[in-house]
Amino acid sequence: MTVKATTWTMRAAAIVCAGTLLVGCTSEDPDTEGAAPDTNSSKSAESTVDVEALDTGDYPTEPAPPFGLATTEDILDVEGQRMAEFVTIPYEVDPELTFVDSSPNVIRSADALSVLIATGAGDVARENRFLSGYSTRAAKTEFLRTQPMHQINHTILRFQDPEGAEATARRLHDQMIAGTDDEPAQEKLTLEAHPETLASLSRYEDPDAGGHERFTAFTPHGDYVIATIVTAPEGETAWLAETASTAVELQKPLIERFPAAPTRARNNGEAPDMPQVDQGRIQIYAIPEDEENNPNGDDRAGYGPRGMGHRSGDPRLVEVLTETGSEHNAVGDSTVYRASDEAGAEKIYQTVVNSLLSRGAVEEPSPEGLPVAKCYSVATQYGVEDHCFLREGRYVASVGALTALGEDNKPSVLQRTSAQYLILQHADQNA
């Protein structure tokens, strides 16, 4: 069966997720003038900061030591984070795919593919010299099992050579068509605009949300496989094909621009030079994430504007980060942005805070001794989110946590915010 697809018309959506949380959020207008507190006026309160009263818990209060060059221990994390800038963001495929409920994945090992793509995918990729990758996911609406879901899971896999990429795409597709003990055989499809794409369609019944269709597409492209899985309520095969085709169309030129670190084979048999871990020298200013809380390699990280777009699902945030020269942003147990000047930092601050306010957030007390921090809480289907925001010169920081199942994470948010303030007092404003 051949399915024809055309490109979606791009348009901006006004949705952003502030802080380090990745639950879905909606904003009527994240740039509404005057909605967020003006940090320029609040800067006058700095003279009232009582450093002695700050409760920083066990969190660091000074920048981390420089990270240096990547090593064999963390090169896959660094490459995955760098790749994020060259991966199609879901809302670019369909402007309604803006709801993000989980962190994107830096693919550290082939084992993750058996969860992200299909049972046995990890073994297939490993046998064909898989290196690393990046996966992003979003939906049109909140992830509720009781309602039909339009969702995309878009993954880029890098191999040592085109032969490995081609073999992986072919074997995974053949597995889909043949079926397994876990999955029934799927219908073989082709995309008219992308005849090299190996596509298939399956149908399944969700006991809570009814019938669904899943469109799976594997596109070998040089050293890469573009793996796109799209789901929708039953009867929307045209949308599935359209979405998958657009994802492939947008992804090809992006991944061609990725300056991947060369393999030894591509470097005349010599060990290649390793990239800097903290290329923008900004990760040193974020509260570090514990390794046990960083299973996917996407925290303790540095991202450009597009990389941050995968985490928020908001076109406006990417636009603002680009406009304000925020080329490097740090993600850890806090998020730190750096604009090219203070006016740009103020614009970033207003954007992320206004989006939270648009979700019905209410102001909460600042950490003791720190009136320059602005804090808010907002109720969600998952629990209560607590967020605090700071601006220090060219830098903007956000700290967030979700309280659910009887846990109280608000004290941690306040402690991290106080620690973040002290760290930013050492930040290089001329970087």
- In CATH, what number is assigned to the domain containing residue 227? 3.40.1000.70
Asked if the structure places residue 4 within a domain, the reply is no
Task: Please tell me whether residues 171 and 98 are part of one structural domain.
Answer: yes
Asked if the structure places residue 169 within a domain, the reply is yes
Domain boundary among 237, 264, 291: 264
Distance between CA atoms of residues 196 and 191, nearest Å = 8
Task: Please tell me whether residues 331 and 249 are part of one structural domain.
Answer: no
Strand intervals (E) in 77-167: 105-107, 130-139, 151-159
Distance between CA atoms of residues 18 and 308, nearest Å = 11
Work out the percent of the chain whose per-residue pLDDT is above 70: 84
Task: Please tell me whether residues 304 and 396 are part of one structural domain.
Answer: yes
Asked if the structure places residue 98 within a domain, the reply is yes
Asked if the structure places residue 431 within a domain, the reply is no
Helix orientation angle between 315-323 and 305-312, rounded to the nearest 10 degrees: 160
Domain boundary among 233, 264, 295: 264
What's the number of domains the chain is made of?
Answer: 2
Domain boundary among 231, 264, 297: 264
Task: Please tell me whether residues 303 and 259 are part of one structural domain.
Answer: no
pLDDT score recorded for residue 309: 92
Asked if the structure places residue 2 within a domain, the reply is no
Task: Please tell me whether residues 107 and 255 are part of one structural domain.
Answer: yes
Contact by Cβ (8 Å): 368, 53: yes
pLDDT score recorded for residue 44: 45
**Residue 179, Ramachandran bin (φ over 0: left; ψ between -120 and 50: alpha; else beta):** left
Asked if the structure places residue 21 within a domain, the reply is no
What is the distance, to the nearest Å, from the Cα of residue 102 to the centroid of all Cα atoms in its chain? 8
pLDDT score recorded for residue 180: 77
**Residue 120, Ramachandran bin (φ over 0: left; ψ between -120 and 50: alpha; else beta):** left
Asked if the structure places residue 18 within a domain, the reply is no
Task: Please tell me whether residues 234 and 288 are part of one structural domain.
Answer: no
Task: Please tell me whether residues 254 and 121 are part of one structural domain.
Answer: yes
Token code pair at residue 74? 């963390």
Task: Please tell me whether residues 317 and 403 are part of one structural domain.
Answer: yes
Contact by Cβ (8 Å): 40, 336: no
Task: Please tell me whether residues 93 and 235 are part of one structural domain.
Answer: yes
**CA distance to 16, 86, 102, per residue, from 253 (Å):** 26, 9, 26
Asked if the structure places residue 273 within a domain, the reply is no
Residues in contact with 280: Cβ distance below 8 Å, sequence separation at least 6, in sequence order = 302, 327, 328, 329, 330, 338, 431
Q: Beta partners for 257?
A: none
Contact by Cβ (8 Å): 247, 151: no
**Residue 389, Ramachandran bin (φ over 0: left; ψ between -120 and 50: alpha; else beta):** beta
Sheet (strand 362-364) strand order: 301-303, 329-331, 335-338, 395-403, 383-392, 374-380, 362-364
Q: Residues of the chain whose pLDDT is less than 70?
A: 1-35, 38-47, 101, 142-148, 207-210, 291-299
Task: Please tell me whether residues 93 and 232 are part of one structural domain.
Answer: yes
The pTM (predicted TM-score) of the whole model is 0.86
Q: Which domain holds residue 339?
A: 39-68+280-424
Distance between CA atoms of residues 206 and 222, nearest Å = 37
pLDDT score recorded for residue 332: 92
Task: Please tell me whether residues 181 and 215 are part of one structural domain.
Answer: yes
Task: Please tell me whether residues 146 and 93 are part of one structural domain.
Answer: yes
